[in-house]
């Protein structure tokens, strides 16, 4: 085992939210290490384009258009993957994000909370992690081993202003990660593990206008974040790859139930 500690060759990885900014960087990387990527995304044209790019770069990939909150669609996907691959090795739940209506803006109060938008953001981030896990776990049980990696956020452990629904949903993902790690190891054995990766602040399309103004100048919120990040910068998607690789590989075989921060020190810093 020691010589293959970091090998990802031949691992069959289902990846939700694959065409996202962080997701696509991760998928390209994992494919470049010899994994087979099963790309899931809501917008078929985007994941088709990603599949093509990965193949052109010499990697293995196949894509399926699917909404992660569609339980029936996920069950049908399970059947398709059982026919095509038999089993899978890893599930990475990366579909998620905040939604414009689900924030409490500075000029609003809690009483202005839009409960419909709140439900949508909980549905995407929390149910959108739980449902793919439930639907695809049987393909890991068939394999006698399984590895699930959820994507959390800094907002999970310490709520942030404005993004209440997103933060609550990511907190629920941390809790689910720990719950499921215990549940699977206890009932299915030590070869089943569940962890989460918690990115710090990465400048992406979702948060660009929240963190920067035109010409890249920081907003007040962007500046507050940088001030609170000992490494004094936003993350680049590539900063996540080493930790992701380790979580996917046998090198982390005894690691389960953890939420690993990749945040430039944000979560360690008290502010003084
Ligand atoms: N960008 C950041 O700074 C940051 C920080 C912490 C955590 N995260 C988390 O990392 C993950 C990836 O983030 P990203 O920046 O790549 O986001 P992104 O918005 O670029 O990508 C998210 C992807 O999920 C897909 N998606 C959205 N709703 C879906 C649904 N219902 N069904 C299937 N797919 C759906 C989108 O089409 C998109 O491709 C998310 O869970 C996000 O919350 C991001």
In a domain, 123, yes or no: yes
Task: Give the residue, out of 14, 16, 17, 267, with the most ligand 1 atoms within 8 A of its beta carbon, to mutate for a pocket test.
Answer: 17
* 73-129 residue pLDDT tens: 999 999 999 999 999 999 999 999 998 899 999 999 999 999 999 999 999 999 999
Is 118 near ligand 1, meaning CB less than 6 Å away?
Answer: no
DSSP state of 67: -
Q: Which ligand 1 atom sits nearest the alpha carbon of residue 154?
A: 6
Lowest mean pLDDT segment, chosen from 134-148, 156-170, 172-186: 156-170
Q: How far apart are CA 253 and CA 190, in angstroms?
A: 9
pLDDT band at 203 (very low <50, low <70, confident <90, very high): confident
Q: What is the pLDDT of residue 204?
A: 83
Of 29, 64, 126, 166, which one is the catalytic site residue? 166
Residue 66 backbone phi and psi in degrees, to 5 = -160, 140
Q: What is the pLDDT of residue 60?
A: 98
Query: Residues 262, 200: contact at Cβ < 8 Å?
Result: yes
In this predicted structure, the answer to whether residue 215 has a pLDDT above a threshold of 90 is no
Q: Is 192 helix (H, G, I), strand (E, B) or coil?
A: strand
Q: What is the pLDDT of residue 187?
A: 98
Is 128 near ligand 1, meaning CB less than 6 Å away?
Answer: yes
Q: What is the pLDDT of residue 62?
A: 98
Contacts 24+ apart (CB under 8 A), 116-123: 117/165, 118/164, 118/165, 121/165, 121/166, 121/169, 122/165, 122/168, 122/169, 122/172, 123/69
In a domain, 209, yes or no: no
The mean pLDDT of 182-203, rounded to a whole number, is 97
Q: How far apart are CA 177 and CA 191, in angstroms?
A: 16
DSSP state of 177: H
The mean pLDDT of 235-261, rounded to a whole number, is 98
Q: Is 161 helix (H, G, I), strand (E, B) or coil?
A: coil
Per the structure, the count of domains in the chain is 1
The CATH code of the domain that includes 84 is: 3.40.50.720
Query: Residues 165, 122: contact at Cβ < 8 Å?
Result: yes
In this predicted structure, the answer to whether residue 239 has a pLDDT above a threshold of 90 is yes
269 is catalytic: no
In this predicted structure, the answer to whether residue 174 has a pLDDT above a threshold of 80 is yes
* 32-66 residue pLDDT tens: 999 999 999 999 999 999 999 999 999 999 999 99
Residue-number span of the structural domain to which 147 is assigned? 2-200+235-261
Q: How far apart are CA 72 and CA 86, in angstroms?
A: 20
In a domain, 79, yes or no: yes
Is 156 near ligand 1, meaning CB less than 6 Å away?
Answer: no
Is 235 near ligand 1, meaning CB less than 6 Å away?
Answer: no
In a domain, 99, yes or no: yes
In a domain, 228, yes or no: no
In a domain, 227, yes or no: no
């Amino acid at each position: 085992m020691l010589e293959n500690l970091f090998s990802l060759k031949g691992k069959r990885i289902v990846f939700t939210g694959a065409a996202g900014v962080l997701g696509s960087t991760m998928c390209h990387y994992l494919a470049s290490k010899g994994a087979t990527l099963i790309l899931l995304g809501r917008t078929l044209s985007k994941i088709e384009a990603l599949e093509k790019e990965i193949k052109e770069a010499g990697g293995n990939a196949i894509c399926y258009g699917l909404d992660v909150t569609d339980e029936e669609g996920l069950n049908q996907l399970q059947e398709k993957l059982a026919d095509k691959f038999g089993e899978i090795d890893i599930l990475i739940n990366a579909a998620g994000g905040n939604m414009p209506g689900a924030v409490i803006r500075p000029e609003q109060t809690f009483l202005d909370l839009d409960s419909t938008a709140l439900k949508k953001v909980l549905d995407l981030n929390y149910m959108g992690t739980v449902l793919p896990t439930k639907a695809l776990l049987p393909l890991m049980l068939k394999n006698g081993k399984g590895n699930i990696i959820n994507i959390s956020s800094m907002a999970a452990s310490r709520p942030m202003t404005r993004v209440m629904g997103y933060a609550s949903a990511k907190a629920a993902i941390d809790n689910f990660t720990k719950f499921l790690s215990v549940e699977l190891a206890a009932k299915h054995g030590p070869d089943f593990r569940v962890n989460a990766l918690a990115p710090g602040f990465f400048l992406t399309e979702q948060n660009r206008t929240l963190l920067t103004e035109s010409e890249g100048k920081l907003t007040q919120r962007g500046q507050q974040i940088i001030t609170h990040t000992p490494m004094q910068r936003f993350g680049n998607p590539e900063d996540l790859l080493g930790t992701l690789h380790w979580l996917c590989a046998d090198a982390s075989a005894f690691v389960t139930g953890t939420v690993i921060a990749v945040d430039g020190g944000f979560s360690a810093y008290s502010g003084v």
